[in-house]
Amino acid sequence: MSTYLLILFPFIVPFYFFTTTMDIDSGISRKLPPMPEENIETPEIHKRNIYVVLINKNDRVLAGIGSPTNMIEIDGNGIISESLKEDVKKFVSNNGRSETSSENPDKAIVSLQNQEGTSYTMYIQVQNELTKAYNELRDEQAINDFGRKFDKLDDTEKKKIQEIYPMKISEAETKAN
Amino acid sequence: MSKFKRGTGKGMPAISTASLPDIVFMLLFFFMVTTVMRETTLEIDINPPDATEVKKMDKKSLISYIYIGPPIESQQVNFGPAARIQLNDRTFSRKEVGEIQYFIISEREAKHEKDRPYMTTSIKADENVTMGIITDVKTELRKVNALKINYSTKKRD
């Protein structure tokens, strides 16, 4: 009996190896806006409080406050230049210092627009850069306030930081071409 | 002189192997209980994009998966190379994106009422798909109020 099972064992192990998954799910989390109800006026947002990031169908990234005016460089490997992240950080943490940038982080909205032909890779990259911008701002604030990085804070402390820098990324409907 | 006295200096007796099958069975059952079977056989090819700012997702039981990508080679005969959406074991074309609503509702019904607000939809899409289909999927999710989503990505350093 025992030898029988011992012979079988090497066959049983690979079976589990192939049929089971151990992959941990990871990714970028987002919250979608609820479906707009009809006849509800969208609140006016001042131009200075909105940072528009547009990824067009050719995967070119345009960004700017109020309207997408600056072209963001993308290198040969399709990696977006750091300038997008830095711009977003500067925009969100402006706190009214500059007349042409956001009034405060709570009012600052990053509007992400993409087109039908935008590639998913580029979209995720931009989402990643935006997340990074917010993560870095939160980390800086956390170190300033509590002396620890954001990840190391407890829940109430995290909430405080999140209130200072709420992640406001809005995604408009895809524009046709 | 005792009649039962055995010879001395025989050394340690061999360890009994009678319990070996039990040990093997125990290991086998342990693996059976702790591992999760692949629930769905993927009929589409997925190579997720990579990102640095990824977070691990917990509460696996509350995640519904939507797979988006080109069909696997053996299925391309039937469906062609255009990206498809897989829900559970079936794949749907982009036109049938409305099926997502039924899928989410049935997923929701299967969960306990108090768990429902924590349900997340994980979008596992191939890096080569375009945003058109992703946006369609997101719109359907918004229609059924499944607003917590996660873009599945690989971790890059």
Q: What residue spans define the domains of chain A?
A: 47-171
Q: What's the pLDDT score for residue B31? A: 79
Domain residue limits, chain B: 50-155
Contact with chain A for residue B135, Cβ under 8 A: yes
pLDDT for B103 beyond 90: yes
Q: What's the pLDDT score for residue B7? A: 56
Cross-strand partners of A22: none
Contact with chain A for residue B61, Cβ under 8 A: no
pLDDT for A95 beyond 70: yes
Which residues in chain A are closer than 8 Å to B150, comparing Cβ atoms? Answer: 25, 27-30
CB contact under 8 A, B57 and A26: yes
Q: Are A164 and A140 in contact (CB under 8 A)?
A: no
ipTM over 0.95: no
Distance from CA of A115 to the nearest CA of B (A): 7
What are the structure tokens assigned to B131, written together? 């945003």
Entry pTM: 0.79
pLDDT category of residue B149 using cuts at 50, 70 and 90 = very high
**Model pLDDT for residues A33-60, shown as the tens digit of each residue:** 888 777 666 667 788 888 889 988 888 8
Residue from B98, B69, B109, B59 nearest A120 by CA:
B69
What's CA B26's distance to the chain center, in Å? 25
**Model pLDDT for residues A130-175, shown as the tens digit of each residue:** 999 999 999 999 998 888 888 888 889 889 888 888 888 888 665 4
pLDDT for B151 beyond 80: yes
Q: What are the residues whose beta carbons fall under 8 Å from the beta carbon of A67, sequence distance 6 or more? A: A47, A52
pLDDT category of residue B86 using cuts at 50, 70 and 90 = very high
Which residues in chain B are closer than 8 Å to A131, comparing Cβ atoms? Answer: 51, 53
Mean pLDDT for B33-43 is 73
Contact with chain B for residue A49, Cβ under 8 A: no
CATH assignment, A47-171 = 3.30.420.270
CB contact under 8 A, A124 and B37: no
